[in-house]
Amino acid sequence: MIPTVSQPSEPAGAIPGFGSGWTSSSWVGIDGYSNPARNIVSNDLLQAGVRQTIDVNGTPSYYAWYEWWVYPAPVVGPGYIHELPIPTVPVSPGQTVFCQVSYVADNTAGYFFFGNEDTGKHVGLTLVPPSADVKLSGSSIEWIMECAGGGEEANVSLPKFSPVVFNAALGWGYETFFRGYLTRYGYPIVGDTLNIADKAGKILTSASADIEGVEIEFIG
């Protein structure tokens, strides 16, 4: 469900392209996480979700978007190496959306589907990898509510938000073995849970996960 955002007690930050205020994004993604100790290495992140912003005048705005981030970023690449809005699927707080990201065509392309269950509007796109450096490893999946635009280190501030709930949160993949394919599933409850803190170390969010989904609350 898309959260409602409002002004928190923390001071406003810079919002790239918008001026000053508070900005957040709730999204799902595949890859983008590296942990050499677990033999997980990824240099790209295919993601889609909703941006929620409130400016210094108290005016909120919401839009759906998608992105295929890669590092190092190509000098010349498709527009979706940066966040691209989805104008054909308007969104509003309180609405329920469905979002899926995946690798397709024997892991040679990316795909996302985003739909607004309240309005029936939806879009699905197959994306060419933005550079030859993309690994498409499928080694991690994420359900995220974050301070968009670079986080606190980029002087960006998180708005206050109503609880964000990811229902039916599930990842799956296929592993080849000598008799065919084995389906692998990933559930939130077996993953890592992280929270957002401000520059002073104050914890602003409370995240919880179970076998069915993820819920993130603002506690700042």
Over the stretch 141-184, which tens digit does the pLDDT of each residue have?
999 999 987 554 568 899 999 999 999 998 887 665 555 555 66
Would you place residue 213 in the very low, low, confident or very high pLDDT band (cuts 50, 70, 90)?
very high
Residues 57, 15: contact at Cβ < 8 Å?
A: no
**Residue tagged 């995946």 (tokens):** 102
Residue 15 within any structural domain of the chain: yes
133 domain-assigned: yes
Task: Judge whether 214 lies within some domain.
Answer: no
What does the pLDDT look like over 12-35, one tens digit per residue? 998 877 788 999 999 999 999 888
Domain membership flag for residue 192: no
Structurally, how many domains does the chain consist of? 1
Tell me, yes or no, whether 213 lies in a domain.
no
Extract the tokens encoding 159: 């708005």
Segments forming the whole domain that contains residue 126: 5-163
Q: What CATH number is associated with residue 19? A: 2.60.120.700
Both tokens of 199, joined, read 């520059």
